[in-house]
Structure 1
Amino acid sequence: MIVKLTDVCRAFGDTPAIDAVSLSVQRGEILGIIGRSGAGKSTLIRCLNGLERPDSGSVQVEGMEITALDERRLQPVRRRIGMIFQHFNLLSAKSVEDNIALPLKIEGQSRAQRRKRVAELLDLVGLSDKAKHYPAQLSGGQKQRVGIARALAAKPSLLLSDEATSALDPETTRSILTLLKDINRQLGLTILLITHEMEVIRRVADRVIVLDRGRIVEQGPVWQVFANPAADTTKSLLQVLTPELPPTLRARLDPVAGDDAVVKVQLSGDAARQPFFAGLIGVRLLHGGIDTVQGEPVGTLFLGIPARDKTALEKAVQYLKSNADHVEVLGYVSGDA
């Protein structure tokens, strides 16, 4: 276990930023921590690297309790933790290779050692041809690659990513997330991602923790949380990724009666692999689809089921409930849906 937090609390005045948070980060995993602005994400990460001291609770990094350490004793712990930031935090007056080498210079490594390590890191992040460039000559994605290389310079055991893709366009974000996933696989590096974007979690995290007002409201393997979110915060954050009933169809919904019932079905895992439509007659797929998260199928489907025979409709709904994670009759439509 790389990180363990137990009942950590930190308040500013009367406002709790994090409230009795307990979590662990296993060696080699990618853990995503997500929440809206003000959820407590930044305070949590500052408690992890010793920049904030909790009011109470325990913070352990590689088995060492850090909450009572003074600044001198915190330095070796911080060297084991790499940080990448939303706005890169590169030194504009230094070249790419000098930015990356800075932690090694502070550590006291020789010039030859620094050059060797910087060359390895530039190759790892795909910027071997940019060593002599300056930050102003780089794109946003290239700057973040330099930031990642610098964070890896001292061979940390834990990499903290604080909204590292928020300032990037979607295509560049995908490339940075792919790089982080590759680094995790190649180096076995433990990564903790702080983000407000569910797409970031979906693409790279193994496990997700959802924060709201300083508390953990939901956690679990990413595919399970995506398939069947329990907390309102999680459902809200997932709205941008979850299929919704088209507005033209929603406008036609009648709450009581119609030719077809419009049924929302959420399914995942083995249920999404089974040909469960075989047990239904006259059912039409109106909208939705199946995605893959962590290698597991996760889907939301909107079905039109004949509603004139109420008994047959009830049997169809019960059949779906026995085969899916969640089933909800949204209403009824008349004519062709």
Structure 2
Amino acid sequence: MDTVCSAPAEAVVRLIELKRKFGTTAALDGVSLTVRKGEILGIIGRSGAGKSTLIRCLNGLERPDSGQVLVEGRDLARLSERELQPLRRRIGMIFQHFNLLSAKTVEDNVALPLKIEGRAKPERRQRAAELLDLVGLAEKAKAYPASLSGGQKQRVGIARALAARPALLLSDEATSALDPETTASILALLKDINRRLGLTIVLITHEMEVVRTIADRIAVIDAGRIVEEGPVWKVFAEPRSEVTRSLLGTIRPRLPSEIAARLSQQPGGEAILRVEAAGEGARQPFLAELATAAGLPFRLIHGGMDHIQGQPVASLFLAVPARDAGAAGQFLDAHGIKTEVLGYVAGDA
């Protein structure tokens, strides 16, 4: 018999000190994480960080060596294979390479989970029709996967994952095989499904742009450990771990290479400042005040303002006379604006 464990009412998933080794390699090394009902959680990490093992533990395909995997309060790690079957139906799954059956129509692919459950054919067809309409493929019901584009195949995969009305949807690198335009449309669909159905979604990805686009919270995994987590806008604005900063490097403004190549740690000329602000700090006219209230000259050389989850996030690079670098940093710090002197360049940056 399985054990029903107490958990916060809003938690759909709780991972508690999850550990899994393969030989001497720790794929998961004490992972603890909560996924709340109705949220989209993005789990991101480099290749080999432990993402695949984590998702296999979440759907019961992998047994942890120790720790708990609680889905709706039930510990998957303690269930027999027979006891796992009904709980697995509460977990939908979409894959990078779609995993559609080529010999079956789109309608039959979507209805497959219901057929496995033993549902009657009229019920299966009705549910498939509802879901194909939801994902915008009602006219493709009788088509075969070979005739579909990659984006259409993934929409079929999403519809199939929703067939049994799951409480949790797992997305395993579901957009990494798609072009940017198709990726954007699939992410918009997932966000719409999340809002309309209140469905809890866990995204496993190595792409920061995917997390930025639709996730509510982010958890960064590295070497089998969660090294950082929090609201997406907060983590993007103030990354604490080196892994997070590295992953963000693909989408955050970078100092132009021609300026970076000239940087010196010897004071003189102009100081190059990295300036980061988020939330209320980013809403202030801090650049105008730097010039007017503080009377400090500067030049904006790169960067801009973004909006993530409705919050402004600024990442800028300023050039100020070297003699004014300390005063500029103190002024901005006093206004809650994070600054860092990257170095100095002779002449104009």
* TM-score over 0.5 for the pair: yes
Q: Which residue of 2 aligns with 1:151?
A: 161
User: How big is the shift at 1:102?
Assistant: 0.6
Q: Cα deviations across residues 249-303 of structure 1 (Å, max 9, x unaligned)?
A: 2223232233321111111111111011213332111110011111111121011
Q: Which residue of 2 aligns with 1:192?
A: 202
User: How big is the shift at 1:325?
Assistant: 4.6
Residue identity matched to 1:204: I
Residue identity matched to 1:313: A
Query: Which runs of no fewer than 5 residues in structure 2 stay unpaired?
Result: 1-10
Q: Which residue of 1 aligns with 2:325?
A: 313
Q: Which residue of 2 aligns with 1:65?
A: 75
Q: Which residue of 1 aligns with 2:344?
A: 332
Whether the 8 Å CA contact 1:268–1:324 is kept in 2: the answer is no
In 1, the alpha carbon distance for the partners of 2:256 and 2:199 equals: 42
Whether the 8 Å CA contact 1:198–1:237 is kept in 2: the answer is yes
In 1, the alpha carbon distance for the partners of 2:61 and 2:263 equals: 53
In 1, the alpha carbon distance for the partners of 2:178 and 2:199 equals: 23
Greater alpha carbon shift after TM alignment, 76-85 vs 244-253: 244-253
> 1:154 is paired with a residue of what secondary structure?
coil
Q: Which residue of 1 aligns with 2:290?
A: 279
1:201-220, aligned counterparts within 5 Å?
201-220=211-230
Q: Which residue of 2 aligns with 1:293?
A: 308
Q: Root-mean-square deviation (CA), in Å?
A: 1.1
Residue identity matched to 1:209: A
User: How big is the shift at 1:247?
Assistant: 1.2
In 1, the alpha carbon distance for the partners of 2:325 and 2:62 equals: 57
Greater alpha carbon shift after TM alignment, 313-322 vs 190-199: 313-322
In 2, the alpha carbon distance for the partners of 1:282 and 1:178 equals: 43
Q: Which residue of 2 aligns with 1:86?
A: 96
Q: Which residue of 1 aligns with 2:6?
A: none
> 1:38 is paired with a residue of what secondary structure?
coil
Whether the 8 Å CA contact 1:266–1:324 is kept in 2: the answer is no
Residue identity matched to 2:301: L
> 2:77 is paired with a residue of what secondary structure?
coil
Q: Cα deviations across residues 219-273 of structure 1 (Å, max 9, x unaligned)?
A: 1111000001011110110000111111112223232233321111111111111
> 1:24 is paired with a residue of what secondary structure?
strand
Whether the 8 Å CA contact 2:38–2:194 is kept in 1: the answer is yes
> TM-score scaled to structure 1, two decimals?
0.97
2:62 to 52, 66, 75: 52
Whether the 8 Å CA contact 1:4–1:60 is kept in 2: the answer is yes
Matching of residue 29 in structure 1 with residue 39 in structure 2: yes
User: How big is the shift at 1:333?
Assistant: 2.4
Q: Which residue of 2 aligns with 1:102?
A: 112
Q: Cα deviations across residues 72-131 of structure 1 (Å, max 9, x unaligned)?
A: 110000000000000000000001000001111111111111111111100100001111
User: How big is the shift at 1:324?
Assistant: 4.2
Whether the 8 Å CA contact 2:290–2:332 is kept in 1: the answer is no
In 2, the alpha carbon distance for the partners of 1:15 and 1:258 equals: 49
In 2, the alpha carbon distance for the partners of 1:218 and 1:114 equals: 42
> 1:179 is paired with a residue of what secondary structure?
helix
Percent of aligned pairs sharing the same letter = 66
Structure 1 residues 178 and 217 mapped into 2: Cα distance closer, same or farther (>3 Å)?
A: same
Matching of residue 264 in structure 1 with residue 274 in structure 2: yes
Q: Which residue of 1 aligns with 2:3?
A: none
Query: Which runs of no fewer than 5 residues in structure 1 stay unpaired?
Result: none
In 2, the alpha carbon distance for the partners of 1:154 and 1:21 equals: 29
User: How big is the shift at 1:306?
Assistant: 2.0
In 2, the alpha carbon distance for the partners of 1:197 and 1:324 equals: 29
